[in-house]
A = this chain, B = another copy of it.
Amino acid sequence: MNKVNVIEKFAQIDGYWNPAVVGALNGQEVKIVKFKGPFTWHHHDHEDELFYVVKGSFIMELRDKNIELNTGDFLIVPKGVEHRPNAAEEVWVMLFEPASMLNTGNVVNEFTKKTLKHL
């Protein structure tokens, strides 16, 4: 059992849209990821997803509205809801979600990461 410093872990992240696992509990995982630019529209059939902004800001685009998230904000996107994160500048985000959830949900494309690094 060791503590994890989230800021230090971000220094080990490679590129954008490339989440790494930093913790696991109760069948869930804590992941960290850097966003920049627009992601891909997708949804998760069976999993809710929490986005917590550690540093920076981004827009969560939904089909009916956009939500701006800044440092210290979190948003829970319920299962089934289409979404697309879009970051004008680099932003550091922590995710809480079920273990082994695919980052692009129902879509498989150039953003899909089937294997994640554990930091």
**A-side interface size class:** 35 or more
- In the complex, what residues of B have CB within 8 A of residue A77's CB? 1
> How many copies of this chain sit in the oligomeric assembly?
2
- Assess whether A28 is interfacial by the CB under 8 Å rule: yes
- Contact stretch, chosen from A34-42, A47-55, A102-110: A47-55
A:58-95 near B, CB below 8 Å: 62, 67-70, 72-78, 81
**Pair B6/A96 contact, Cβ less than 8 Å:** no
- In the complex, what residues of B have CB within 8 A of residue A25's CB? 48-50, 76, 78, 96-97
What is the interface of chain A, defined by CB distance below 8 A to chain B? 1-7, 23-26, 28, 30, 47-50, 52, 54, 62, 67-70, 72-78, 81, 96-98
